[in-house]
Amino acid sequence: MATTTTPGTERAHAATKRYIYAWGDGSAEGDGGMKDLLGGKGAGLAEMTKAGLPTPPGFTITTEACNDYFAAGEKLPERLWDDVREAMAEVERRSGKGFGDPANPLLVSVRSGAKFSMPGMMDTVLNLGLNEETLEGLIKLTGNERFGWDAYRRFVAMFGRIVLGIEGGRFDKPLEAKKKARGTDADTGLTADDLRELVDEYKRVVREATGRDFPSDPYEQLDLAIKAVFASWFGKRARDYRESQKIAHDLGTAVNVVTMVYGNMGEDSGTGVAFTRDPNTGEATLFGEYLTNAQGEDVVAGIRTPSKISHLADDMPEAYEEFRRIGQQLEQHYRDVQDLEFTIERGKLYMLQTRSAKRTATAAVKIAIDMVEEGLITKEEAVGRIEPSQVEQLLRAQFEPKAREAATRIAKGLNASPGAAVGRAVFTADHAVEWVGRGEKVVLVREETAPDDFHGMAVAEGILTARGGATSHAAVVARQIGKPCVAGSAELHVDSAGKVARSNVSGLEFGEGDWISVDGSTGDVFVGALPTVEARFEDQPELQTILGWADEFRRMEVWTNADKPEEAAQARSYGAQGIGLCRTEHMFREGERLEIVRGAILIANQATRLKTRRDLGEELTADEVATIAEFDAAMGRLEALQQGDFEGIFRAMDGLPVVVRLIDPPLHEFLPNLEEQLVKVTKAGDQATTEDRELLATIQSMHEQNPMLGLRGCRLGLMIPDFVKVQTRAILNAQIAVKKAGGNPKAKIMIPLVGHVNELAATRALLEGEAKAVEEAAGVNVEYAFGTMIEVPRGALTADEIAKHAAFFSFGTNDLTQMTFGYSRDDAEGGFLLRYVEGVILPGDKEPFQILPVNPFQTLDDAVAGLMRTAVEKGRATRPDIELGICGEHGGDPESIWKCEAIGLDYVSCSPFRVPVARLAAAQAALSSAERDK
């Protein structure tokens, strides 16, 4: 049948491409580096086989076959089937069994396996190859009738559900009824006869649901199962999961056909899942669970409560020792913590899977540090292994300790995923989505979760389940998506239909909509909404160690956006190396200041005009002189207050640069709302005061249809120069005062919204005049840097001219995004933009069409980054040592930070809370670009 061969590990194939890689008898055609083609599971099995570890023989059908299957309209590639049969013949030879052979039946599992682990999101079928005849053979060979019928009834139900698409509940019902009739809670309480009767009932269910008999031909079963696994790649939960994890939809899944080994062949058999280190704490001990006399699905689904892996040492000491040794070998081999699946069949250990373990943020940090100390990985690798989102998690809120102490505990469960979650209880994933859509915060409460619950888990604040262990679906998924989770709270009875949960220990219950608080770090569930406190960075020495290493590898500095001394101090404790943006107008809004600002704004235009006339030598009336005096007095008070603010900030950032931006927003933002004032005056009618009427007239005169593109930024300073003057004086006098007191303030003054070089040149002249006056008055020289924001596309395109007047550029990517896309930053995110990202369903289409891959106000868009790159090149052409930073929201977003590294910025500036994340992301970006340059 051979027509062509593929280089490397040769394998004849009838299909036009090589779609199959087999393993067994200590050799494998693939290896651990082939995850793209073989998926994680297939690559892991190949690698383990090569390393001489005990694996059951089998073969992988590649992800390419999956993609070709879909490209051909859900048809297997031509003659792939011949190759599958050939590979099956090989498995038969290696296992010494025959597929469909009643005398010595070979049974297989058909398992999904994508490049990236997608726990439980795709389908797997076990015990394939069973029918009435092979079942007899299996029973004869094992001498265990109950085992045979148990395997068969599992197979019919699983195949029915996954391959034939029959609703799972239709198989659960007869099982539950049978258990009830036999007065047992556990599956193991059913006899062989019970199971035989169940098989008959299951087959009836299949006939009713599909209109045909359950397929008994093993090859037909195999054909259907392969297609079903391919199809599960585009199943809803797999799709949802990929969306949330940003995994590409075009990778496809591989299919692994693996000889079945049985953990349910008696007390000397078992199956389990274990991690080579504790995935919650990072502690270097074997961590996991197993069940004797059970199949793998029992462990993962949390149907029976498993034993700790350490008990295996007592139950089956030899198998345990071998497993422990293999775990260590795999950890050394992959240089990472492994998540292992194993089965013991009559005392013999088989390894079914190895993959890098998902872990909590705490564990990730501890494991990375331990592995550096053990000499297993380098510091660079340690930094690369922490995900930015994990740093965010470590800085996540905890319950306020006093409130926690006083709280009423409803129940306790396993501390499956750390963090504090507060929300209203909902009992189904769909309700979770619905409630969150209405703006509510929810905790998803389930008896146990299944992959179908993923959409609810993704939107919930936290997750609570009554059944399942630390490796159950709820626990694994919650850890991965960083949600607090309490799992397996056995005292809790969850009635999803009745929308109520009750603890048989505390006697307390809660219903839908009741507030509960879930502590995923301790496993406690409390009544009500407990207050939370920020996680303290200071208390996390291991995180600080990792970030300290990150600092060694970073090229870009990390600065912060802070407007107050407290914020500056906090950011500094997080490792900020400067202030990249101090928005001075935020200081205008507080307390008495707003009144002063309002007073000044109301007469600002008039006073400015009068000053011009006065300066031209015109005689002013007494009233006019009084207006100027009133304006100057208000501005003077503001100046004094601002100087105090700046002194505080300079002190908090002593020795580090502080970029102070002059006033930016349109002035009407500081005045009462136009509509409200209009209503007030209209309602009052003749009774309206002159003051209110005048205020209304001023607001109306300042009203703009499009204020974001109106009189704001540097334009404002040019229309009302006193704003520039007063703020310059406040900054420089603060600098002089702090310096006099022995400090080391480093002021940088930044002009916003420059689109034309003349705007900057004129502002500069104004500012320098004032600086000179300050110097003369104080009798000292003041040092400060003068620079600008680049946030208007024209500014970016003419950055070479602008750089003549600017010692630094700071990219205001909030405005730059707004103006590049033409999306209002005030309105778009609450409107169409979210739908652009989710996908828009066009007339006649079923599938949504995604207009934008991400929200460009969160993650820097490539076109905006392109404008930045242009500005950087042009700016440097004029002024090679120009300092370059970013202070838009993107400065704290890891993906955007990577782009800033590529553009060659000197620093990113972000909110204080994001400084630690930015330190890590900047290091990872630098390490990856160093790797690329090699």
Find the part of the chain contacting ligand PEP (CB under 6 A) among 509-517, 521-529, 811-819, 848-856. Answer: 811-819
**φ, ψ for residue 4 (rounded to 5)?**
-140, 165
Q: Which is nearer to Mg ion, 815 or 883 (CB)?
A: 815
CB of 752 to Mg ion, least distance (A): 6
Q: Can you tell me whether residue 872 is helix, strand or coil?
A: helix
Instruction: For residue 145, state whether it binds ligand PEP (rule: CB under 6 A).
Output: no
13, 431, 455, 473: the catalytic one is 473
Interface stretch with Mg ion, choices 223-231, 411-419, 649-657, 789-797 (CB under 5 A)? 789-797
Contact flag: residue 909 with ligand PEP (CB under 6 A): no
| 868 to 897: interface string for ligand PEP, x by CB under 6 A | -------------------xx---------
Binding span for ligand PEP by CB under 6 A among 117-125, 189-197, 646-654, 808-816: 808-816
| Rounded distance between C-alpha atoms, residue 48 and residue 52, angstroms | 7
AA identity, residue 772: K
Site string for ligand PEP, 696-725 (x = CB under 6 A): ------------------------------
In the list ligand PEP, Mg ion, none, the entry touching 828 (Cβ below 5 to 8 angstroms by class) is none
Q: Mask 748-787, x = binds Mg ion (CB under 5 A)?
A: ----------------------------------------
Instruction: Kindly give, in sequence order, each residue whose CB lies less than 8 Å from that of residue 400, ignoring residues fewer than 6 positions away.
Output: 530, 531, 532, 533
64 three-class SS: helix
890 binds, among ligand PEP, Mg ion, none (CB under 5 to 8 A by kind): none
Buried-state track 381-418, b at ≥16 Cβ within 10 A, e below 16: ebbbbbbbebbbbbbbebbeeebbeebebbbbbbbbbb
* Residue with smaller CB distance to ligand PEP, 387 or 585: 585
Among 336, 524, 791, 883, binds ligand PEP (CB under 6 A): 791
* Interface positions, 637-676, toward ligand PEP (CB under 6 A): 664
899 binds ligand PEP (CB under 6 A): no
Return d(Cα 374, Cα 331) in angstroms, integer: 12
813 binds, among ligand PEP, Mg ion, none (CB under 5 to 8 A by kind): ligand PEP
Give, in order, the Cα–Cα distances in Å from 653 to each of 354, 547, 733, 783: 49, 20, 16, 16
Residue corresponding to tokens 């197993």: 290
Query: Total residues at the site for Mg ion (CB under 5 A)?
Result: 3
Please, which residue, 316 or 581, has the CB nearer to ligand PEP?
A: 581
Q: Residue 13 catalytic?
A: no
Helix axes 169-181, 145-162, angle to 10 degrees: 150
State the pairing for strand pair 515-519/524-527: antiparallel
**What residue 245 binds from ligand PEP, Mg ion, none (CB within 5 to 8 A, per partner kind)?**
none
How many residues sit in the footprint of ligand PEP (CB under 6 A)? Answer: 10
Return the number of the residue (262 or 823) whose C-beta is nearest Mg ion.
Answer: 823
Decide: is 815 part of the binding site for Mg ion (CB under 5 A).
Answer: yes
Alpha helices in 163-246 (DSSP H): 169-181, 192-210, 218-232, 236-245
Interactions with ligand PEP, residue window 350-369 (CB under 6 A): none
Which of 887, 890, 900, 910 is catalytic? The answer is 887
Q: How far apart are CA 20 and CA 432, in angstroms?
A: 42
Alpha helices (runs of H) in 741-856, residue ranges in sequence order: 757-778, 793-797, 799-802, 813-821, 832-838
For residue 105, state whether it binds Mg ion (rule: CB under 5 A). Answer: no
Closest CA to 890 of 910, 912, 872, 870: 910
Tell the smallest beta-carbon distance from residue 403 to ligand PEP (Å).
35
The C-alpha R_g of the chain, in whole angstroms, comes to 34
Secondary structure (3-state) at 884: strand
473 catalytically annotated: yes
Select from ligand PEP, Mg ion, none the partner in contact with residue 24, using the beta carbon and a kind-dependent cut-off of 5 to 8 Å. Answer: none
Binding string, residues 747-786; x marks residues near ligand PEP by CB under 6 A: ----------------------------------------
CB 253 within 8 A of CB 230: yes
Query: Tokens at residue 253, please?
Result: 């899944």
DSSP 3-40: -B--SSS---BSSSS--EEEEETTEESS-TT-HHHHHH
Pairing mode of beta strands 442-446, 657-661 = unpaired
- Taking CB under 6 A as the criterion, the residue among 812, 856, 875, 892 binding ligand PEP is 812
Binding of ligand PEP by 813 (CB under 6 A)? yes
Taking CB under 6 A as the criterion, which residues in 580-619 touch ligand PEP?
A: 581, 583
Does 812 engage in binding with Mg ion (CB under 5 A)? yes
- Is there a contact between 892 and 859 (Cβ–Cβ < 8 Å)? no
The owner of tokens 């059970």 is 294
Smallest separation (angstroms) from ligand PEP to the CB of 909: 9
The secondary structure of residue 394, as a DSSP letter, is: H
The Cα 402–Cα 389 span in angstroms is 28
CB of 814 to Mg ion, least distance (A): 5
Label residue 534 exposed, middle or buried (CB < 10 Å: 0-12, 13-18, 19+): exposed
Per DSSP, the three-state class of 804 is coil
Closest approach, Cβ 665 to Mg ion, in A, equals 9
Q: How many CA atoms lie within 13 Å of 565's alpha carbon, on the beta-carbon side?
A: 12
CA torsion through residues 685, 687, 693, 696, sign = negative
Q: Does 814 bind ligand PEP (CB under 6 A)?
A: yes
Structure-block tokens of residue 852: 């934008």
Residues in a beta bridge with 4:
13
What's the min distance (Å) between Cβ of 885 and Mg ion?
14
Residue 861 in contact with ligand PEP, rule: CB under 6 A: no
Among 145, 815, 861, 883, binds ligand PEP (CB under 6 A): 815
Indicate which of ligand PEP, Mg ion, none lies near residue 148 (CB less than 5 to 8 Å, by partner kind). Answer: none
Tell me which residues are annotated as active site.
473, 887
Q: Which residues bind ligand PEP (CB under 6 A)?
A: 581, 583, 664, 791, 812-815, 887-888
Q: Which residues bind Mg ion (CB under 5 A)?
A: 791, 812, 815
